[in-house]
Chains A and B, each alone.
Chain A
């Protein structure tokens, strides 16, 4: 089955700096890669996703890049703000209805004001 590794497990940055979280996956058949943000005591919420037919996707301060050959994808947050502090999870699936997500271990991001 799919295995997703996520690094780092914790990340501390100063407000205004950039943050990068990296994930690798094992199954080359995976083609859908979402990122979830989970604030303390809240549900995981989708913040951005990418499919295997594109290499990069951007939404305001958040971007995701995908390298299919190397089987890794990354989340980039620019101009970080204290409200970005949360746990971030990457995931991978083979897409199509019926294929479940395999989650990475999570990254606790702390943005210091």
Chain B
């Protein structure tokens, strides 16, 4: 298994500002992912965080809005930029182990006023 620390756990932000979410895992992993989960909805993949190269974004998500860093095999950050109320959601990181199993962080509950 994997122990994932994600922070902050929640935040309330003003529109037009940016928030950076951190994800730390207790072992080296090749694949880390960022998801968005809107209230009462399923999980939508934002991007795959690649170590040493640019993240791979899914359709509908762009680097300017959701820049991602992955400086090493245990850490990644997701920034939500120039926020609007529509960005209010839960953001989750996950890691993929060689067994194909994905473990999730506890999530960041973001409210944008």
* Interface of A toward B, CB cutoff 8 Å: 32, 34, 42-46, 49, 89, 93, 95-98, 100-101, 103-106
Contacts and interface: CB of A to CB of B under 8 A. Distances in A.
A89 B41 CA distance: 10
Contact of A44 (B48, B100, B104): B104
Contacts of B112: none
A103 B104 contact: no
Given A46-B102, A103-B42, A97 B31 contact: yes
Majority DSSP secondary structure for residues of B touching A: strand
Nearest to A1: B59
Given A43-B105, A97-B31, A105-B41, 11 more contacts: A42-B106, A43-B107, A44-B104, A46-B101, A96-B100, A100-B45, A100-B48, A101-B45, A103-B44, A105-B42, A106-B42
Most buried by B among A45, A100, A104: A100
Contacts, number: 44
Interface residues of B, number: 20
A34 B101 contact: yes
B102 A34 contact: yes
A96 B100 CA distance: 6
Interface in B30-51: 30-31, 33, 41-45, 48
B52 interface: no
Contacts of B43: 44, 89, 103
